[in-house]
Amino acid sequence: MTLVPSNDFLPEEKPAAFLDRDGVLNQDIGYLHETERLVWMPQAVEAVAYLQAKGYRVFVVSNQSGIARGFYSETEVDALHETMQGVLHRAGTRIDAFVYCPHHPEGIIERYRVDCSCRKPHAGMLLGLMERFPTSRRDSFLVGDRETDLAAAAAADVRGYLYSGGSLLDFVMGIVERDYTGGGA
């Protein structure tokens, strides 16, 4: 599990928007790890900026079984996340932390062949972030594109929303304005 960037002094409890990566922030092309193949979902960058403007911490929580399967390395995932963060930074926004699970019980890489509590549908990634960053669960939510994402949200006691494409900005605005009366701000 990797956190980027970190801040060791975060006294203020804030709501969090947990976003799955593949299929939510970027197109799911299957085991994405090459920065040149990154294609953002429509208005994903704007969605991150909107959430931050509304007072949310924005976290990416992603299963990356391709590491356990030997398709790519953690270094390649970290480089992709740095590229994504660079795009967001140039747009005046950021992801507060990227967290991923490199494990899979059927992995071919021994050290990653684990059925762990961080792999969605388990809540380990979300719970770890909420432990590290003071979080208002009542005002937090997860956006994912699979039932396993929604199961992880339920296990972490936050609302989960299934995204199936289109403008991510419109999707998260609908959540915040409908269910959170203006979000955390």
Tell me: pLDDT of 3 over 50: no
What is the CATH number for 135?
3.40.50.1000
Beta bridge partners of 183: none
The answer to whether residue 138 sits within a structural domain is yes
The answer to whether residue 101 sits within a structural domain is yes
pTM comes to: 0.91
The answer to whether residue 67 sits within a structural domain is yes
The answer to whether residue 184 sits within a structural domain is no
pLDDT reported for residue 1: 47
Domain hosting 142: range is: 19-179
Active site residues: 20, 22
pLDDT in tens, 17-65: 999 999 999 999 999 999 999 999 999 999 999 999 999 999 999 999 9
The answer to whether residue 55 sits within a structural domain is yes
pLDDT in tens, 72-123: 999 999 999 999 999 999 999 999 999 999 999 999 999 999 999 999 999 9
- Tally of domains within the chain: 1
The answer to whether residue 91 sits within a structural domain is yes
Tell me: pLDDT of 2 over 80: no
The answer to whether residue 8 sits within a structural domain is no
> Is the Cβ–Cβ distance between 54 and 12 less than 8 Å?
no
The answer to whether residue 185 sits within a structural domain is no
